[in-house]
Amino acid sequence: MGSRDNSGIPNRKKRSKAWKEFSITEEDAEGKPLKAECIYCHSVVRCETTKGTSVFHNHLKSENCKRKRAAIEQTPNASRQIKEKLAVAFYMEIIILMTWSIWTARNDWMFQGIDPMVQQCKRKFMSEFSILLHRARPAMVPNMSVWLYSL
């Protein structure tokens, strides 16, 4: 053990903190990283170990990457934004059924070659939602019906 190679670059701590934000996409014959992909914006940067991790820090400071990260941080608010836009008590049912409708449209596309279309997806959603009316709390049904038939 010990003198493993003569390159002068021991294989030591290439895992500095910056590495948590990149995944290696290309290595040289010795398994040293050559290129790595940013987990936020998926840009690929060159990362020879001889150059240290400044390339990572510079990348994370770049405008493009900052913008992407900001967008990612926004994402958890998406369901809150949908909730506020819908402004109805049964927003969660809407989100779930809409997600389901999109999912089935995608499956039809993948497995049956049916082109996904907004109108078709909407019909699916409305049909599912009208079934939901039979199981909803009676007090909710009038509001839900009005909402459904206003679509």
Calpha distance 144→137 (Å, rounded): 10
* Minimum CB–partner distance for residue 74 and Zn ion (Å): 16
C-alpha dist (Å) from residue 10 to 23, 51, 78: 20, 14, 46
* Minimum CB–partner distance for residue 121 and Zn ion (Å): 33
* Minimum CB–partner distance for residue 11 and Zn ion (Å): 26
* Minimum CB–partner distance for residue 40 and Zn ion (Å): 5
C-alpha dist (Å) from residue 131 to 78, 84, 124: 26, 24, 11
Q: Which is nearer to Zn ion, 67 or 123 (CB)?
A: 67
DSSP per residue, 55-122: HHHHHHHSHHHHHHHHHHHHGGGHHHHHHHHH-STTHHHHHHHHHHHHHHHHHHHHHH-PPP-HHHHH
Q: Which is nearer to Zn ion, 70 or 96 (CB)?
A: 70
Residue 148 in tokens: 């459904």
Which residues lie near Zn ion (CB under 5 A)?
38, 40-41, 43, 65
Q: Which is nearer to Zn ion, 37 or 93 (CB)?
A: 37
